[in-house]
């Protein structure tokens, strides 16, 4: 079945992952317009309102909408694994921005910890989508002169569906689902001792509960998370009408994060 799908993709390029346009030339599954849109994204500081306790300063490559949402869904839910490379480049930009915001620089280690996936998610998605994304981001950052390293000191245990939980309940469920991998945490602790910027990465930030849980677990192991970087930021849906500032997109007008050059 996978082979048939792959062959079909070769014969019929399929629809653009960003806008579903058909019969257009595609690069990594995106049409020219969507590819240009994704290339032009500028990472920005973002924070859910209210931010959960323990959430580090958070940066996103773009809003969870339009071509970015389409590409992320195609990658995550429809098995378009080749999108890991362009999405990894976007994540790298978000990580670089997060590191610079925190005063980090290319001269010191940039320690990247992806939010761990549960075994079930890895099975269902035919691989660990966050690890794959983070690897591409690390590769891109290194190519741009950053001393980026991938670290995976946490394991994710199955957790109940959090959709019905309130904010404190979600935070508790997220935290209790994360366990420390002792040998790997020691490696990270040693790296932190010589100094470095520790950035947690995830695909999407919505309530911030997961990122806050990871930061809390790491701080329990005496590691201060410097920041969080994601591909996309979701606007929270609320019962009351939205207000300006429900989701703060700060430094929107900021210049593009310099991945290369000095
Ligand atoms: Zn498109």
Local confidence pLDDT in tens for the 262 residues of the chain: 454 454 445 445 678 989 988 888 888 788 889 999 999 999 999 999 989 999 999 999 999 999 999 999 999 998 888 899 999 999 999 999 999 999 988 999 999 999 999 999 999 888 999 999 999 999 999 999 999 999 999 999 987 776 777 878 877 888 888 999 998 998 888 888 888 899 999 999 999 999 999 999 999 999 999 999 999 999 765 444 444 443 443 333 334 444 543 3
pLDDT of residue 14: 78
Taking the centre of ligand 1 as the mean of its atom positions, its distance from the CA of residue 34, in whole angstroms, is 4
Taking the centre of ligand 1 as the mean of its atom positions, its distance from the CA of residue 35, in whole angstroms, is 7
pLDDT of residue 231: 97
**φ and ψ at residue 139, rounded to 5 degrees:** -60, -45
Label residue 94 left, alpha or beta by phi (over 0 means left) and psi (-120 to 50 means alpha).
alpha
Taking the centre of ligand 1 as the mean of its atom positions, its distance from the CA of residue 128, in whole angstroms, is 26
Taking the centre of ligand 1 as the mean of its atom positions, its distance from the CA of residue 79, in whole angstroms, is 18
Taking the centre of ligand 1 as the mean of its atom positions, its distance from the CA of residue 31, in whole angstroms, is 4
Taking the centre of ligand 1 as the mean of its atom positions, its distance from the CA of residue 27, in whole angstroms, is 10
Taking the centre of ligand 1 as the mean of its atom positions, its distance from the CA of residue 95, in whole angstroms, is 25
pLDDT of residue 243: 45
Preceding amide of 50 cis, omega within 30: yes
Residue 207 DSSP code: S
Residue whose C-alpha is closest to residue 47's, from 196, 258, 251? 251
Q: Considering the entire predicted model, what is its pTM? A: 0.83
Residue whose C-alpha is closest to residue 216's, from 58, 57, 54? 54
Residue 126 DSSP code: T
| Tokens coding 121 | 């998610």
pLDDT of residue 230: 98
Taking the centre of ligand 1 as the mean of its atom positions, its distance from the CA of residue 169, in whole angstroms, is 39
The Cβ of residue 206 has, within 10 Å, a number of other Cβ atoms equal to: 18
Taking the centre of ligand 1 as the mean of its atom positions, its distance from the CA of residue 61, in whole angstroms, is 18
Taking the centre of ligand 1 as the mean of its atom positions, its distance from the CA of residue 246, in whole angstroms, is 29
């Amino acid at each position: 079945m996978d082979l048939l799908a792959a062959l079909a993709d070769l014969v019929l390029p399929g629809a653009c992952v960003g806008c579903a346009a058909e019969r257009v030339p595609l690069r990594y599954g995106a049409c020219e317009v969507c590819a240009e849109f994704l290339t032009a994204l500028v990472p920005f500081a973002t924070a859910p309102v209210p931010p959960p306790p323990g959430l580090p300063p958070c940066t996103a490559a773009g809003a969870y909408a339009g071509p970015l949402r389409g590409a992320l869904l195609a990658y995550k839910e429809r098995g378009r694994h080749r999108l890991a490379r362009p999405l990894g480049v976007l994540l790298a930009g978000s990580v670089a921005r997060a590191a610079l915001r925190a005063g980090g620089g290319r001269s010191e280690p940039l320690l990247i910890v992806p939010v761990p996936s549960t075994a079930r998610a890895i099975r269902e998605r035919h691989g660990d989508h966050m690890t794959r994304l983070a690897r591409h981001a690390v590769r891109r950052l290194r190519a741009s002169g950053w001393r980026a390293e991938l670290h995976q000191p946490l394991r994710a245990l199955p957790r109940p569906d959090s959709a019905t939980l309130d904010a404190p309940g979600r935070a508790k469920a997220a935290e209790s689902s994360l366990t420390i991998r002792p040998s790997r945490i020691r490696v990270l602790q040693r790296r932190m001792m010589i100094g470095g910027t520790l950035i947690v990465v995830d695909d999407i930030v919505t309530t911030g509960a997961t990122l806050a849980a990871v930061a809390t677990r790491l701080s329990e192991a005496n590691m201060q998370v410097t920041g969080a970087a994601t591909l996309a930021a979701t606007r929270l849906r609320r019962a009351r009408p939205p207000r300006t500032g429900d989701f703060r997109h700060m430094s929107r007008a900021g210049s593009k994060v310099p991945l290369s050059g000095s």
